[in-house]
Amino acid sequence: DARVTQTPRHKVTEMGQEVTMRCQPILGHNTVFWYRQTMMQGLELLAYFRNRAPLDDSGMPKDRFSAEMPDATLATLKIQPSEPRDSAVYFCASGWTGPSNQPQHFGDGTRLSIL
C-alpha cells in the first residue's frame, strides 16, 4: 500500500533551535496538509498546499513556522526558533483534489519535544 512518509519520527531539541520536519506524500496526490496533535487541542490544521502552491496557512503561527514544497515529492515544515509550547506530534497527510476527490491519508507523524 502507498504511504505518506515522515521524517524524523522523533526529535528532541532545546528551545531556540531550528527544527525541520519532512514529508513525502503519496505518489500522484496533489494536495498536502500539515496537522498538529496535542492533548489539549487535539488535531489541528496548520497549512496545506495544492499542486505545490500554498493555499491556506491560517492555522500556523507565522512568526516562527514556515511550510514549503520544494518539489512534488517533498513537503517541509520548519520552526525557527522553537519553543517548548511547540512540543506536539506533527502529521502530514496527502490526498487528491479534482473532479473525483480522494480522502486524505496520514503519515505516522514526527513527535517533537522542545526542552
Note the residues at the interface with other proteins (CB under 8 A): 4, 31, 33, 35, 42-45, 48, 55-56, 59, 91, 93, 95, 97, 101-109
Q: Strand pairing of 19-24 and 5-7?
A: antiparallel
The distance in angstroms from the start CA to the end CA of the chain is 36
To the nearest 10°, the Cα dihedral for 3, 91, 60, 69?
-30
Burial of 71 (0-12, 13-18, 19+ CB in 10 A): exposed
Name the residue nearer to other proteins (CB basis): 46 or 79: 46
Helix (H, G, I), strand (E, B) or coil at 21: strand
Cell representation of residue 75: 513537503
Name the residue nearer to other proteins (CB basis): 14 or 108: 108
Residue 74 CB, nearest approach to other proteins (Å): 18
Residue 58 CB, nearest approach to other proteins (Å): 9
Name the residue nearer to other proteins (CB basis): 14 or 56: 56
Name the residue nearer to other proteins (CB basis): 23 or 114: 23
Residue 102 CB, nearest approach to other proteins (Å): 7
Residue 81 CB, nearest approach to other proteins (Å): 26
